[in-house]
Structure 1
């Protein structure tokens, strides 16, 4: 047997930490002695990953936020590059975070380090020019979605569809009763989950709207129960917003455990991003909300290629769930869209069947497929 590989790995934000931790599980099953180090979060560290910097350092969004942290981000990338080049790993894997990882991967690849990028950037949705940077950065791309390898092949980028690791972990049948028991939620309650995002900038722009919408929903339906899974470290940012935008509203705050919250809820009001796909895997009706600094929005709107923002709608190529973006994301509009789901059982049932088919498509045993692809790259 060849020796277990040494990996360099960078994952940003809570979603990247989750994806990378699931990938690590599959790689460690294939190579029990595998070691990995770089930038990562608590889920990766639970798999034995050595985090030289925490993944939260990369949790910035949009050009305004990135500019405010640019000097620190560039310093971290230089230091990480120098450390990896001084003792090169057998393979480097960049998990999402393309604006950080592409430059790092390009330097490593030029120095002879094999590079893999896990999660194809959404070049089919916006900023198609990034495919050139991806081609220069990565020897191979591991794709979450089935349409991506053919698109990358048109640009000479080798890629493998590996499915979505969360689709493997989430049961096709949602264990709602068990999740409610674990979270101490009433089994008979109508539960609304608020997921305002995992970045500080998202919390600042989106949480006030979701909290105000929850307050309006409670006025119309006092029996509703509200719960928020809080990303570790962001509770101090969120708690004052709760008092300011939904005074007197009883909301259960849960540290982490977003998957249990999605399993337990009947409806989610949710920030556009990876979490919307997770909500779809849990077959949950949702209202997708997004808001950002107006300069970021103005720039990104000009780069968009598709009419949809949320991943479920993009993958299904239809507005299967409502999207309320920027100025349209008013508390009243969010509340009305949420209550419309609760009032329409046939619509909810049809959505569950649509999401079940999507779940089956993305369930590909990602850990095995990804480790197979990586084994071939290491063997070259």
Structure 2
């Protein structure tokens, strides 16, 4: 296709908005006059994306209870979007992550003759393996952010391209800790714990109190440790309240956003399972991964889990490189002990710290590609492929 294509996109949540923004950069490199519309967030809007609904409308947490509370509104949005796209077909529809929303929509659009691309292979290698059939029906092509995924999809007859992980290109191979500390008002020789309990409302509800209770125990053991928490503006008041409830009022530095600066600056991070754990690995930081959710959501998720790990650094390494403390195991005492163990290693176990840095550097290099360009090139080929 030589003319500028008409593109529709759906990105859910902050991480999807970031991915879609980078993809739009690559697409505009091929087609400077490109227009795209659908569901998106602020990163996409900065690239001229026309959002019919904001991506935050799709943000949910958990596997059952939390989703059901918002399901009616989300399904209504999908029905309206489906009708609009079926009436006025785009040349290609790109679903960015949000598989529960996007795969069904993609299947309907593809059945009606629209080419469909799914950006970020659902983690069928970790849990919910039955999704592979839905992916095969839904996606003309899948853009993969992990190098082993295209071969896995090919076994099921699904075309795919590895485009690298965009975070590996955004985060420098050697982070500038000194600059990050200066920007955050931290001294070069401070011992710093970063606390990242997640950005969703339910994560703040279920995870933040445990993390701050653990942080209080850490500070009792080592009063000189400084603690810093990056928070989205909408959650700052609740996070401050949780810190106060744990006896940490005025003892935790709360910053608006700036999670990358915080990870670059810290020595150790106590972090909720999710994409942020991969960011911490790319910053080469030792971490303790914790998570807690509604008990019913937890039971349903565990039934579909295929691997012994939930943290991305451990999944990609195939080993418990960093500790995971989940659900009932995520007690403040256990979390604090694991954090203090890393601080002990920083002072007394250089070999362990060097081994972790080596693992995370190798991981970074394996994920580092020109993601916007590779993804845009793959989409251009899909548009030109009569089989798509």
TM-score interval w.r.t. the shorter chain? Answer: over 0.9
Q: 2:7 matched to 1:7?
A: yes
1:249 shift after superposition: 4.9
Structure 2: distance between partners of 1:2 and 1:232: 43
CA contact (8 A) 2:92 2:383 kept: yes
TM-aligned CA distance change 1:54 to 1:234, over 3 Å: farther
What SS is found at the alignment partner of 2:229? strand
1:65 shift after superposition: 0.7
Structure 2: distance between partners of 1:38 and 1:257: 28
Query: Hey, which bits of structure 1, 4+ residues long, moved more than 4 A?
Result: none
CA contact (8 A) 2:120 2:145 kept: yes
Q: 2:7 matched to 1:16?
A: no
Q: Which residue of 2 aligns with 1:235?
A: 236
Deviates most, 242-251 or 6-15 = 242-251
CA contact (8 A) 1:14 1:198 kept: no
CA contact (8 A) 2:90 2:114 kept: yes
TM-aligned CA distance change 1:74 to 1:367, over 3 Å: same
Q: Which residue of 1 aligns with 2:182?
A: 181
Structure 1: distance between partners of 2:32 and 2:10: 20
Structure 1: distance between partners of 2:244 and 2:44: 34
Structure 2: distance between partners of 1:56 and 1:246: 32
Q: 2:253 matched to 1:248?
A: no
TM-score by structure 1 length? Answer: 0.97
TM-score by structure 2 length? Answer: 0.95
1:320 shift after superposition: 0.3
Q: Which residue of 1 aligns with 2:27?
A: 27
Q: Which residue of 2 aligns with 1:72?
A: 73
Instruction: Spell out the pairing of 1:46-125 with structure 2 (5 A cutoff).
Output: 46-61=46-61, 62-125=63-126
Deviations 1:144-186 (A, max 9, x none): 1111111111111111111101101111101111112222222
CA contact (8 A) 1:23 1:165 kept: no
Structure 2: distance between partners of 1:76 and 1:328: 38
State which of 370, 376, 380 in structure 1 corresponds to 2:375: 370
CA contact (8 A) 1:12 1:56 kept: yes
TM-aligned CA distance change 1:32 to 1:246, over 3 Å: farther
CA contact (8 A) 2:287 2:322 kept: yes
Name the Cα RMSD after superposition: 1.4
TM-aligned CA distance change 1:196 to 1:180, over 3 Å: same
Structure 2: distance between partners of 1:239 and 1:179: 23
What SS is found at the alignment partner of 1:344? helix
CA contact (8 A) 2:240 2:249 kept: no
What SS is found at the alignment partner of 2:64? helix
1:358 shift after superposition: 0.5
Instruction: Spell out the pairing of 1:332-347 with structure 2 (5 A cutoff).
Output: 332-345=333-346, 346=350, 347=352
What SS is found at the alignment partner of 2:321? coil
Structure 2: distance between partners of 1:216 and 1:226: 12
What SS is found at the alignment partner of 1:69? helix
1:190 shift after superposition: 1.3
Deviations 1:58-117 (A, max 9, x none): 111221111000100100111111222232222111111111111111111112111100
Q: Which residue of 2 aligns with 1:269?
A: 270
Q: Structure 2: state its 5+ residue gaps.
A: none
CA contact (8 A) 1:7 1:36 kept: yes
Q: Structure 1: state its 5+ residue gaps.
A: none
What SS is found at the alignment partner of 2:207? helix
Deviates most, 42-51 or 268-277 = 42-51
Q: Which residue of 1 aligns with 2:319?
A: 318
